[in-house]
Amino acid sequence: MSKPALYYATLSPPSRAVLLTAKAIGLELELRPINLLKGEHLTPEFLKLNPQHTIPTLIDGDANIIDSHAICAYLIEKYGKAHESLYPKDLVKRANVDARLHLDSGHLFARLRFLYEPVLYYGSTDCSVDKIAYVQKCYEILEGFLKDQTYLCGNELTIADFCCVATVTSVNDVAPIDEFKFPKVHAWLKALSELPYYKATNEEGAEELKALFKTKLAENRSK
């Protein structure tokens, strides 16, 4: 049986969320890197796989899945039956996980993209206080969810944690997290950083993206 194939980039927080999920359940993927800065996600070949031209994209037999949150859920359902707590069967618990996944896609990642994309792709020099504050408002939401629990959906790790942490750790240099205002967010980040697969799977790519953003911003401002 062939491995599921993942089109991904280590720079991409959504890609790293899927990689964290695969590591958590011990699933080996066939990794197919895509260079976003060279526009490899816009080639005719890739557009046939994914007209939305986003990564990650998962190919598993006849299945073609194009959203990181959907991919994470799919991997647990198909390959992670021994790890069901990552995406619970219980209707209420699953609804809470889904809600946090939407928090990532609708707020966290959307605001990271609003800040990063113009600089990385279009030569923008805008890294304004307002854009940074817009990202930091999400930390208030996370702090609220984490008030009485270790993880975003309770005291058990879920795919929502993987998706949200991949985004937060990709922007927390530009939009710092005040440890006095958001102690629970700091504790959550520490708990996730202690996972044995976390550093190689998420931290290195997050640091790479943050460094690239700073470099591109400086280049754009020097022109």
Residues marked active site are found at 12
The one-letter code for the residue type at 99 is A
Which H or E run includes 73?
A: helix 68-79
Residues 6+ apart with CB under 8 A from 130: none
Q: Is 108 helix (H, G, I), strand (E, B) or coil?
A: helix
Q: Give the whole-angstrom CA distance, residue 89 versus residue 158.
A: 12
Q: Give the whole-angstrom CA distance, residue 33 versus residue 89.
A: 32
Q: Give the whole-angstrom CA distance, residue 117 versus residue 111.
A: 10
Give the residue among 44, 48, 42, 54 at the shortest CA–CA distance from 7: 54
Q: Is 61 helix (H, G, I), strand (E, B) or coil?
A: coil
The one-letter code for the residue type at 39 is G
Give the residue among 128, 110, 111, 138 at the shortest CA–CA distance from 217: 128
